Amino acid sequence: MFSTLQTGHLPLARRRLRASLAAGVMLSLYAHADSVPVYTEYSALTAGSLTRGEFGTSLAVIDDKLFVGAPAADFSSRSSGDGGGGGGGGTINDSGAVSRWERAANGKFAEVGSAAILPPPVVGGRFGTALDSFGDRLAVTQSSPSMLRIYQISAGATLEAQLFPLAMGTQGSSPMVSTTLFASHAAVGVVRNFDDSGSVEIYTRVGGQWSSSYSIASPNPGVPGIGFGYSISMSEDSLFVGIPYFTTVNGQTLPGAVYEYQRPVAGPVWNLRGQFSLPADLPAAQPARYGISVDVKGSLLVVGAPQLATSAGGDQVGGVFIYQYDPAVDAWTLRQRLINPDLEDGAEFGFAVATNGSDVLVGAPRSNFFEGQAFLYARTGNDQWSLTQRMVRTATGSHRFGAEVALTSDKSSIISAPQFTAFRGAAYEFLPERFLIDGFE
């Protein structure tokens, strides 16, 4: 099912498509103006009883293993999978959990129930709010109280560090605690600090021990609600921090920004190196939410702006901006802007982004009449990106499909729908370079 906005085509009903396929009629595409292949899922991932509750809110990949955060999972007389506690009677709501998935003999992901990461239960803790990985390490945040746990992943998950970011200023209400991990550095964005203005705390691993090494306050700590640290991503040399501006500043509507902080060669200070925002030809006075999603891999930086309008007062169709680092001039250059191909108002195109350093995956959880979609862009030989796949589910409903996205090591796309089936949540795997509709090829 696709939005008919700006396409000039009516969507095909899925039941009609299935019937046509069963009758042997070759249908290569859903009716759509851009004629890009539409993929449905290769497999659906739904949580077991221990990891059910907004399953898919966060995703991380380590080699051939997939980790899925479920921050609204309830604790009910269970034992902790990481040795951190458990047991006891009753139910502790929204304690949170992270599930582990590995390839089964049939090639599909299967949950390894015994390897679920279940921390000491906390009412409203929301463990699994954000995930990131580097090498064999997995970083997991908890919302309340703000906490970062770092695990070393092998056959199980060995807890390496439990860290508590500083509470700064008046505490706001945002539950977002983001994280990023690269080599011996980790960072946590605590949006509720300074009344939801936000801050970022950086941790460094020395001699096998993790400890706080530096804190970065919001550039506007006196302005509540602007969301500094809502998204963060780290490369070898830099930390990128999104500030989507959920509120006005001195009565002015701002589109959002991403700040780059440089990793220190010596000492603890991460200096501000630069700032990214909308190109000058786009309206500046708009709530584009630029920086609500950020991902960097190698020399490629991807930034989402899910409420972007391309003209003053125009529809909020959403967009994504791709930057490439040029070592010759020691600077990042905007290589391409991706505008929602459907031009659908309120689609939230760019709410989630992921890159492997080449391909770019974009989630649009309110597109397609709130069904949600995801879009895969492949890098071409001239350092441009072309839309190669649209991804939709065979299930229907307003479940925020596309709220989180990830790319696996074998280039499969993982797309989540954390509100599926009364907020239990689900995630879906889509294969690369194959056209599947309801199991038919």
Summarize pLDDT for 346-371 with one digit per residue, the tens: 999 999 999 999 999 999 999 998 99
- Paired with 98 in beta bridges are 69, 117
Q: What is the DSSP string of 186-221?
A: EEEEETTHHHHT-EEEEEEEETTEEEEEEEEE-SST
Confidence grade of residue 4 (pLDDT, cut at 50, 70, 90): very low
* Residue 115 lies inside a defined structural domain of this protein: yes
Is the pLDDT at 121 greater than 60? The verdict is yes
What's the average model confidence in pLDDT over 12-30? 29
- Paired with 293 in beta bridges are 304
Closest by CA position to 403, among listed 440, 366, 377? 366
Are residues 86 and 79 in contact, defined by beta-carbon separation less than 8 angstroms?
yes
What span, in angstroms and rounded, lies between the C-alpha atoms of 187 and 252?
30
Are residues 160 and 152 in contact, defined by beta-carbon separation less than 8 angstroms?
yes
Instruction: Note the pLDDT of residue 240.
Output: 98
Containing structural domain, residue 156: 53-164
Instruction: Note the pLDDT of residue 244.
Output: 97
Q: What are phi and psi of 147, to 5 degrees?
A: -155, 145
Is the pLDDT at 63 greater than 60? The verdict is yes
Q: Could you read off the pLDDT of 247-283 as tens digits, one per residue?
A: 999 899 999 999 999 999 999 999 999 999 999 999 9
Residue 221: is the preceding peptide bond cis (ω within 30°)? no
What span, in angstroms and rounded, lies between the C-alpha atoms of 341 and 6?
9
**pLDDT above 90: percentage of residues in the chain:** 78
* Residue 123 lies inside a defined structural domain of this protein: yes
Is the pLDDT at 27 greater than 50? The verdict is no
What's the average model confidence in pLDDT over 297-301? 96
Instruction: Note the pLDDT of residue 52.
Output: 86
H or E segment and range at residue 411: none
Instruction: Note the pLDDT of residue 155.
Output: 87
Instruction: Note the pLDDT of residue 434.
Output: 53
* Residue 133 lies inside a defined structural domain of this protein: yes
Instruction: Note the pLDDT of residue 399.
Output: 96
Q: Could you read off the pLDDT of 85-117 as tens digits, one per residue?
A: 444 446 778 999 999 999 999 999 999 988 899
Q: Reduced to 3 states, what is the DSSP secondary structure of residue 423?
A: helix
Helices and strands counted in the chain (H then E): 4, 31
H or E segment and range at residue 338: strand 331-339
What span, in angstroms and rounded, lies between the C-alpha atoms of 110 and 179?
26
What's the average model confidence in pLDDT over 54-67? 96
- Paired with 242 in beta bridges are 258
Confidence grade of residue 120 (pLDDT, cut at 50, 70, 90): confident
* Residue 148 lies inside a defined structural domain of this protein: yes
Please indicate whether residue 87 or residue 70 has the higher confidence score (pLDDT): 70
* Residue 89 lies inside a defined structural domain of this protein: yes
What's the average model confidence in pLDDT over 65-74? 95
Q: Could you read off the pLDDT of 206-243 as tens digits, one per residue?
A: 999 999 999 999 998 889 999 999 999 999 999 999 99
List % helix, strand, coil for the chain (3-state, nearest 5).
5, 40, 50
Per the structure, how many domains does the chain have? 1
* Residue 117 lies inside a defined structural domain of this protein: yes
What span, in angstroms and rounded, lies between the C-alpha atoms of 439 and 420?
21
Instruction: Note the pLDDT of residue 437.
Output: 42
Are residues 437 and 431 in contact, defined by beta-carbon separation less than 8 angstroms?
no
State the sign of the Cα–Cα–Cα–Cα dihedral 281, 282, 283, 285. negative
Closest by CA position to 433, among listed 42, 18, 31, 26? 42
Instruction: Note the pLDDT of residue 90.
Output: 60
The model's pTM is 0.89
What's the average model confidence in pLDDT over 118-140? 95
Q: Could you read off the pLDDT of 417-441 as tens digits, one per residue?
A: 999 999 999 999 999 865 444 443 3
H or E segment and range at residue 250: none
What's the average model confidence in pLDDT over 295-316? 97
Instruction: Note the pLDDT of residue 115.
Output: 87
* Residue 74 lies inside a defined structural domain of this protein: yes
* Residue 152 lies inside a defined structural domain of this protein: yes
Is the pLDDT at 295 greater than 50? The verdict is yes
